[in-house]
Amino acid sequence: MPPTVECCISSSDAALRSLADCDRVELREERCLEHCGICRAERFAVVNGTLLTHPELSAAVDALAEGAAGEGI
């Protein structure tokens, strides 16, 4: 089962959107994830049910992208 990354459209960036092309990651961009206070303050995403903010989010996105690249994707 691929990892699931959920993010608000207003909180996503190019690195998160690049995961959409990866078959090993399920990216769900939603209009709102109802974490508005965090969304206004910084970029965030929910990865496999865990809310991550920067810098944890950056590390997770990099790890997911590297894992996908290692799989030949």
What would the pLDDT profile of 9-24 be if each residue is shown by its tens digit? 988 888 888 888 888 8
Sheet of strand 50-53: strand arrangement: 26-30, 4-8, 44-47, 50-53
Look at residue 60 in the predicted model and tell me its pLDDT: 87
Residue-range domain boundaries for the chain: 4-70
| Other CB atoms within 10 A of residue 19 CB | 20
Look at residue 5 in the predicted model and tell me its pLDDT: 92
Could you tell me the end-to-end alpha-carbon distance of the chain, in angstroms, rounded to an integer?
16
Buried b / exposed e along 30-55 (16+ C-beta atoms within 10 A)? eeebebeeebeeebbbbbeeeebbee
- pLDDT range class, residue 68, cuts 50, 70, 90: low
Q: Which two tokens stand for residue 65?
A: 């992208």
pLDDT tens readout for residues 32-66:
999 999 989 988 999 999 999 988 888 888 888 77
Stated pTM of the model:
0.80
